[in-house]
């Protein structure tokens, strides 16, 4: 068995579509490490059973809007953000489980995500065109 490292910047540069995370490895059989290219705004959503870690790899900055008082994506859309976290290259932020959030990037930005295996990028929202996660078995 040959061991090999992964360069996050190089992997992000291979992602062709915005908002379509690509699985790169699994940690402890429980967490998926993914990279994505983002630009524009994403949908309000939460992950009821898991935290979600964001790391800014390239481009940026980008921001994550948080609606701490909402219990659904629809409520977050109506209320808007209570707080905004800005991330530059090298910055990391963990969105707590069940927190309504929406990542946004004015310019193309490469990110790394860490979340439980099987987590869908739109969380509890009904699936839409932005739920094209690559399965955890890919990219190994």
Residues above pLDDT 70, as percent of the chain: 89
For the chain, first and last CA: distance in Å? Answer: 13
Q: How confident is the model at residue 136 (pLDDT cuts 50, 70, 90)?
A: low
Tell me whether residue 139 is in a domain: no
- For residue 125, the model assigns a pLDDT of 72
The stretch 50-60 carries a mean pLDDT of 96
CATH of the domain at 103: 2.60.120.10
> What gap in Å lies between CA 134 and CA 13, rounded to an integer?
16
Mean residue pLDDT across the chain:
90
The stretch 83-101 carries a mean pLDDT of 97
Cβ atoms 64, 87 nearer than 8 A = yes
Structure-token pair, residue 24: 């790169």
**What dihedral angle (degrees, nearest 10) is formed by the CA atoms of 48, 53, 58, 60?**
60
Domain with 83 in it:
21-116
Tell me whether residue 134 is in a domain: no
pLDDT digits (tens, 9 = 90+) for 100-126: 999 999 999 999 999 999 988 888 776
The number of domains in the chain is: 1
The HSE-up count of residue 117 (CA atoms within 13 Å, CB side) is: 12
Whether the full predicted model's pTM is greater than 0.75, yes or no, is yes
> What gap in Å lies between CA 39 and CA 16, rounded to an integer?
12
Tell me whether residue 110 is in a domain: yes
- For residue 139, the model assigns a pLDDT of 44
Tell me whether residue 108 is in a domain: yes
Tell me whether residue 136 is in a domain: no
Burial of 32-55, coded b for 16+ CB within 10 Å and e otherwise, reads: bbbbbbbeeebbbbbbeebbbbbb
Tell me whether residue 10 is in a domain: no
> What gap in Å lies between CA 59 and CA 51, rounded to an integer?
24
> What gap in Å lies between CA 3 and CA 104, rounded to an integer?
35
pLDDT digits (tens, 9 = 90+) for 17-34: 999 999 999 999 999 999
Tell me whether residue 53 is in a domain: yes
Is pLDDT above 80 for 130? no
Tell me whether residue 98 is in a domain: yes
């Amino acid at each position: 068995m040959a061991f090999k490292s992964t360069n996050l910047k190089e992997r992000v540069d291979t992602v062709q579509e915005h908002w379509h995370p690509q699985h790169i490895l699994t940690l402890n059989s429980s967490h998926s490490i993914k990279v994505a290219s983002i630009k524009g705004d994403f949908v309000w959503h939460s992950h009821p059973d898991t935290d979600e870690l964001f790391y800014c790899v390239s481009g940026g900055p980008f921001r994550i809007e948080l609606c701490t008082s909402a219990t659904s994506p629809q409520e977050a859309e109506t209320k808007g953000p209570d707080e905004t976290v800005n991330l530059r290259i090298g910055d990391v932020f963990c969105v707590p489980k069940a927190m309504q959030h929406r990542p946004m990037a004015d310019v193309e930005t490469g990110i790394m995500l860490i979340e439980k295996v099987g987590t869908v990028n739109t969380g509890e929202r009904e699936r839409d065109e932005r739920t094209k996660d690559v399965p955890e078995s890919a990219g190994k």
